Structure formats: C-alpha cells, structure tokens
C-alpha cells in the first residue's frame, strides 16, 4: 500500500463496519441517486467492451454496474482495505471477479502505475482529498475517452455543514477532512486536461458531470 497521512486516516473513517453497512445498503437499494445519474450518462455512451477505472470507488458500485452492462474490465482504487474486501466479495457474488482488479492505496501516489482506461470515474472523491488540482490532473491523464465526476455544490449551506463535520472530526482527533472546492475550478481543471463537457446535472447537494476527451488536442 502507498499512503500519506490523509490517505491513511481514511482507513479509520471507512473501516470494516462502514464497509459492511455500505455494501448491505447497496445490495438493498442499488447505487445512490447521484451515482445512478452518472451511470445513466455512461450507459448512454455505451460501456460495452470498455475498460473502466474507478478512483475511490468504495464497495465498487460503479464497477459492478458497468461490468454487468458489458464493460470488459474494471480497476478499482481505494485507500480503504475494508471497502476493497467488500468490493471483491460483491464481485465474486456477481461472478465478475475475474474482470475486477482492486488496488489499495493513495491513487495520486501510484497513478503512473495504474493502467489507462476508456472511462475514468470519481464519485464523491474530490470532496475527500485536500489537493483537488493534483487529483484531477492525475486521474484525467488516465482517461482515454470519458471522465465522470460527482462533487458537492459550492453552496453556503454545504460549507457550513462540512465545517461542522470537520470540527467534530478534530474533536475526535481524526485527520480526515471533507472539502468543497469552487465548482468553476473543478470544471476548469477537467477542461484544461483536454476534455469537453458532455452532460451535467445539479441536485441539492451533488453535481454530476460526464466529460469526453476532445479530438482537437
């Protein structure tokens, strides 16, 4: 495993108990509404035969759904070993384990060793990492065709909510923090990497965007 202090704090936050809870919720209810929106956008472009890279994918909802719909293979990178165990368990239950590779560690520290993919996704990951620019730069570099990302709206009420969460974590002596970055800055970082916006939807909390690599670069 490759990890820094923030990444390692994810092991404590997203532990075995949290992984089991999220896996059971996924089995009962399927992907969350914002994840489902991203999946619908990806299905519209046709994932059949594609290679998928899901950064910070947790129990693997995106990978499982796309493998079920014909993706050739998927790589799931996550800093939580417990969530990767859950993802592997679900893949074995679905009989897709031979097409799923799980990688444990900090994606930004190992990006160069992660295979490129047709489709790269970051579902609620930018808000869990302190360096948005680095995360987007490294993850877009691995995307050959499409880049899907879900991130929180830059809204005052969400900033207050996240500030309260972070204050509570400080009291618990946890190094894990959540972040809200200017939405325009996220969009600019993805476009700077050579992508054009294909679809976008805005909910009360989450923005779901799918980009396509520009052909003129």
- The pair of structure tokens assigned to 128 is 């869990």
This prediction's pTM: 0.92
pLDDT at residue 4, as a whole number: 47
Sheet with strand 143-152: strands edge to edge: 100-104, 73-78, 51-55, 117-123, 143-152, 206-213, 195-202
Evaluated on CA atoms 68, 112, 214, 55, the torsion sign reads positive
pLDDT at residue 216, as a whole number: 59
> By the 8 A CB rule, do 41 and 148 touch?
yes
- Pairing of the two strands 100-104 and 73-78: parallel
Low-confidence ranges of the chain (pLDDT < 70): 1-13, 216-217
CATH architecture of 5-213: 3-Layer(aba) Sandwich (3.40)
pLDDT at residue 11, as a whole number: 58
Reported as a single tens digit per residue, the pLDDT across 20-48 is: 999 999 999 999 999 999 999 999 998 89
> By the 8 A CB rule, do 74 and 66 touch?
yes
pLDDT at residue 215, as a whole number: 76
Quick count: other Cβ atoms within 10 Å of Cβ 112?
A: 8
DSSP conformation class of 116: P
């Amino acid at each position: 495993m490759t990890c820094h202090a923030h990444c390692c704090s994810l092991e404590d936050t997203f532990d075995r108990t949290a992984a089991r809870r999220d896996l059971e919720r996924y089995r009962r209810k399927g992907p969350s509404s914002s994840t489902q929106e991203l999946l619908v956008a990806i299905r519209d472009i046709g994932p059949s035969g594609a290679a998928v890279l899901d950064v910070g994918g947790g129990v693997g909802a995106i990978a499982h759904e796309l493998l079920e719909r014909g993706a050739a293979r998927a790589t799931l990178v996550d800093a939580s070993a417990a969530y990767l165990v859950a993802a592997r368990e679900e893949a074995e239950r679905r009989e897709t384990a031979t097409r799923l590779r799980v990688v444990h560690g900090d994606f930004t520290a190992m990006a160069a060793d992660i295979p490129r993919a047709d489709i790269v996704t970051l579902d609620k990951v930018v808000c869990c990492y302190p360096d948005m620019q680095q995360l987007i730069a490294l993850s877009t570099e691995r995307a050959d065709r499409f880049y899907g990302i879900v991130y929180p709206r830059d809204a005052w009420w969400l900033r207050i909510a996240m500030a309260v969460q972070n204050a509570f974590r400080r009291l618990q002596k946890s190094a894990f923090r959540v972040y809200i970055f200017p939405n325009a800055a996220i969009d600019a970082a993805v476009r700077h990497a050579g992508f054009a916006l294909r679809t976008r939807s805005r909910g009360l909390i989450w923005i779901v965007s799918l980009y396509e690599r520009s052909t003129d670069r």
